[in-house]
Amino acid sequence: MNKIAVLTSGGDAPGMNTAIRAVVRRGIFKGLDVFGVQNGYKGLMDGDFVSMNLGSVRDIIHRGGTILQSTRCSEFKIAEGQQQALAQLKKEGIGGLIVIGGNGSFEGARKLTVEGFPTIGIPGTIDNDIAGTDYTIGFDTAVNTAVEAIDKIRDTAASHERTYVIEVMGRDAGDIALWAGMCAGAESIIIPEADHDVEDVIDRIKQGYQRGKTHSIIVVAEGAFNGSVGKGIEIGRVIREKTGFDTKVTILGHLQRGGSPSAYDRMMSSQMGAKAVDLLVEGEKGVMVGLKNGKLIHSSFGEAAKDKHTIDLSIYHLARSLSI
């Protein structure tokens, strides 16, 4: 293996550029030619490769987003698209690929491996929802962004005696909501992994006001309630109607994806990027780099796909006990 390539796929996450930097520099250190693939799997199908050198990744360790860009590509999901990508890799003489992304991105990487092409995955998604690893690149920065926003909103909530519902990202996983809500001292945290009764949220708000509290913060993951009640706006409406309190809703949205990666995200991205290169050099394929119990590990795409991401509900129960 003399040439390897790296691509980013799916939603961007702070730390992706740091991981790209680590892949390029570790690859060059190992004597490899490293190529970047522009626009994810679409670029792979189109043969949109760019030769990467040390200067290519200069001054990107602190930048959010991804310099290689990322595009959703439904064409790659079918066999013809995968064969087209493999032909482009063969044409360029590339012998291994590193994919930085989430579950959907890893499914594409797995299919390439099934076809015999060595592929390694690096978990990059702010949702922290990939089984097989305790941590995904971008999660820490997203949580810090949410906490900073909630802290600022609380200042306004206290000044105007308001209840604020703050919706954070997390369609299928409540990690951002749980961590941000816990760290920002939210009165209620609503996540997909825990059963919720809106009446319970309302009772907690009323009890707080009876004790003299003049404001409340409710943090809700965008995927909570499975659509039975709705997202932040609907929850805010119900609270407003049943309490009569001045209730505002803030949806943080894609604000959480951007920004300079935190020190922890930079550290983990650097380690995972270098580890991915080492695994390719050692002849591994079809595996994902991960973090378990503070140690870098790797597991097969198939093994990770069989498991389901779980959340530490002990933190959720702790948050409830501290917000009484």
Contacts of 159 (CB under 8 A, 6+ apart): none
Predicted confidence at residue 229, as pLDDT, reads 45
Active-site residue, 127 included: yes
Predicted confidence at residue 226, as pLDDT, reads 61
Residue 266 marked as a ligand binder: no
Is pLDDT at 227 greater than 60 in this prediction? Answer: no
Model confidence, pTM: 0.92
Residue 79 marked as a ligand binder: no
Mean pLDDT, residues 224-251 taken together: 80
Residue 213 marked as a ligand binder: yes
Given the residues 12, 127, 129, 265, the one annotated as active site: 127
Of the chain, the percentage scoring pLDDT greater than 90 comes to 66
Q: Which of 212-221, 256-265, 270-279 has the lowest mean pLDDT?
A: 212-221
Is pLDDT at 228 greater than 50 in this prediction? Answer: no
* Six-digit token string for 283: 């002849």
Task: Give 230's pLDDT tier (boundaries 50, 70, 90).
Answer: low
Please name the amino acid found at residue 42: K
Mean pLDDT, residues 150-156 taken together: 92
Contacts of 240 (CB under 8 A, 6+ apart): 246, 247
Is 316 in a helix, a strand, or coil? helix
Mean pLDDT, residues 13-30 taken together: 97
Angle at which helices 232-243 and 198-210 cross, to 10°? 50
Predicted confidence at residue 122, as pLDDT, reads 97
Residue 94 marked as a ligand binder: no
User: Residue 42: which H helix or E strand, with range?
Assistant: helix 40-46
> Measured between alpha carbons, how far is 318 from 183 in angstroms, rounded to an integer?
11
> Measured between alpha carbons, how far is 96 from 117 in angstroms, rounded to an integer?
7
Q: Which of 25-29, 175-179, 210-214, 306-310 has the lowest mean pLDDT?
A: 306-310
Please name the amino acid found at residue 165: V
CA dihedral 175, 192, 210, 250 (to 10 degrees): 70
Is pLDDT at 5 greater than 70 in this prediction? Answer: yes
Predicted confidence at residue 65, as pLDDT, reads 94
> Measured between alpha carbons, how far is 240 from 252 in angstroms, rounded to an integer?
20
